[in-house]
Structure 1
């Protein structure tokens, strides 16, 4: 679950009680430093920091942390060789320190401010300065571009970034599993089309919908360098118009569905940026809308994580221009 979803729950759910943040990891761990989860008053939770073996134990701390209105540090050490219980269950054998904070007062105000920043598309560092052990925390913000200050009093800095946006051009039936799957793995999904009967929240629940012709859509969407764009209306002229407009912006990813020959014709005379991928998706032999969605979302996750796969080729713009292909296998 993305941090944004947890912040959204903090804003809308009165049951939110304790924020758990992984602030230190030694050795292997299921989640990295910075992972967060939200523990609720009804013993439920949002997010995770382990495969499920720590959450129940952490929930037992919620009443005391909430009643005291004081943060608490909890440590789980799975490193000892004879600690077969933790080691086998969590599957990491590392040490994890988790900060538990009551979601109230200064923390609540700051979490809501963080969400407001993300809603504006702005990343933010939330800095924690500890005193009296971990019982008192002062919260401040700084610009992520400036980096966290080197002051030794700042024990932990949490970086919050806007939810990455996936824009699907083409509200055909095969876009429905794609939109649903992309949203389920943490993307903010926008479906765009010129046909209002196809592009609506009834067909795409949980996604934003924008209805306009391609030339107007590019302007309305305000595309930016963090956006992932997938073009799949299956109408050549409409796809071409949208692609040409989209390529005027810097993008994180631009994937075009369709045969290579079809896309080559669409791209004639155009400079081909590094973000361009076609045919869209990882090459897994997918067939049909659901498998195609798996292929595409897998490639989006790979791009998001910055992972390069074995056999990846044609990674530079110059090489792609030379071989007239920009598909990453």
Structure 2
């Protein structure tokens, strides 16, 4: 049972770019990679911006002040198929008056790389949906090497060579596992996707399938999970069903998932923990956050989802 792919506007961070790269591209695009920064900058090395030749830019370089120059340079790269090294310096007083007017006082360097369906870089980026990280080595001539730990990709220069190269490490989107569903599931999924998380869910009750439709994958049981349990960064037990939550807690106790949240009041938490055997409790307690969520105020499913998303963002990213 796989959930529908959500609309592009529901995704943030690297997740949004990886989602856009899933579908074969009819027209070439340009990938901008932040390779170095100095001073005050909106994005840091490793940040990606995708600029389709047809379509809307995905990702941000600044608060909007540098995007016009970036898009102009990307149009040239798309037209001639040659990589381009772009250096944007906003430190001078002249820039404040005549340039971007950002006032950020920083330098950001980018490599703009042509990206079509045959590009090894595209295949490397797609591997991040299953890998944990991607090592990336780039030169100002556009040549590069990518390695996800199991596979290696190389591509040739498309611009004049210099002696400058950068080594970057792209970290895959964080992976969240929802164990069970309830009224909080839909808003939590939306918030997690906006924050760039990948989300899988386990649920068998048909009444909750619609609330979980945007999940990256929906499973009937924990044995059907697509990823090993060690590959999730966090899990939230939230079925609103006592025996299901007890079984989910046992699953988490046997896993290496580093952050486990449990929805519900303290008394229910204590009752559930009392039903686990002593070794399971000992394995689980150092990782357990229960009741899950930050105290932000408000009530209802949306407020609870926000409190959980805030805790995940604070503790796990």
TM-score by length of structure 2 reads 0.81
Q: 1:57 to 1:154 in 2, by over 3 A?
A: closer
1:254 to 255, 260, 277: 260
**Which structure 1 residue ranges, 5 or more long, are not aligned?**
146-151, 306-329
- Spell out the pairing of 1:175-186 with structure 2 (5 A cutoff): 175-186=185-196
Tell me the SS of whatever aligns to 1:37: strand
Query: Does the 8 A contact of 2:15 with 2:198 survive in 1?
Result: no
1:3 to 14, 22, 25: 14
Q: Aligned equivalents of 2:110 and 2:102: distance in 1?
A: 15
CA-to-aligned-CA distance 1:115-138 (integer Å, 9 cap, x gap): 1x323334221222x3xxx3x332
2:145 to 140, 148, 158: 140
1:58 to 63, 67, 70: 70
Residue of structure 2 equivalent to 1:242: 248
Q: 1:24 to 1:209 in 2, by over 3 A?
A: closer
Residue of structure 2 equivalent to 1:218: 222
Query: Does the 8 A contact of 2:179 with 2:239 survive in 1?
Result: yes
Q: Aligned equivalents of 2:203 and 2:117: distance in 1?
A: 44
Answer with 277-286 or 264-273: which moved more: 264-273
Higher relative contact order (CA 8 A, sep 6+): 2
Q: Aligned equivalents of 1:42 and 1:143: distance in 2?
A: 29
Deviation, 1:4, is 4.1
- Spell out the pairing of 1:158-307 with structure 2 (5 A cutoff): 158-195=168-205, 197-200=206-209, 202-212=210-220, 217-221=221-225, 222-268=228-274, 269=278, 270-271=281-282, 272-305=284-317
Deviation, 1:290, is 0.5
Matched, 1:93 2:101: no
Q: Aligned equivalents of 1:177 and 1:36: distance in 2?
A: 27
Q: Aligned equivalents of 1:160 and 1:186: distance in 2?
A: 14
Q: Aligned equivalents of 2:310 and 2:177: distance in 1?
A: 16
Aligned-CA RMSD value: 2.6
Query: Does the 8 A contact of 2:263 with 2:291 survive in 1?
Result: yes
TM-score by length of structure 1 reads 0.78
Q: 1:110 to 1:74 in 2, by over 3 A?
A: closer
Residue of structure 2 equivalent to 1:76: 88
Q: How many residues align?
A: 286
Q: 1:68 to 1:254 in 2, by over 3 A?
A: same
Tell me the SS of whatever aligns to 1:189: strand
Deviation, 1:264, is 1.6
Tell me the SS of whatever aligns to 2:79: helix
Query: Does the 8 A contact of 2:65 with 2:100 survive in 1?
Result: no
Residue of structure 2 equivalent to 1:156: 166
Residue of structure 1 equivalent to 2:35: 23
Query: Does the 8 A contact of 1:73 with 1:97 survive in 2?
Result: yes
Query: Does the 8 A contact of 1:232 with 1:256 survive in 2?
Result: yes
Query: Does the 8 A contact of 1:180 with 1:204 survive in 2?
Result: no
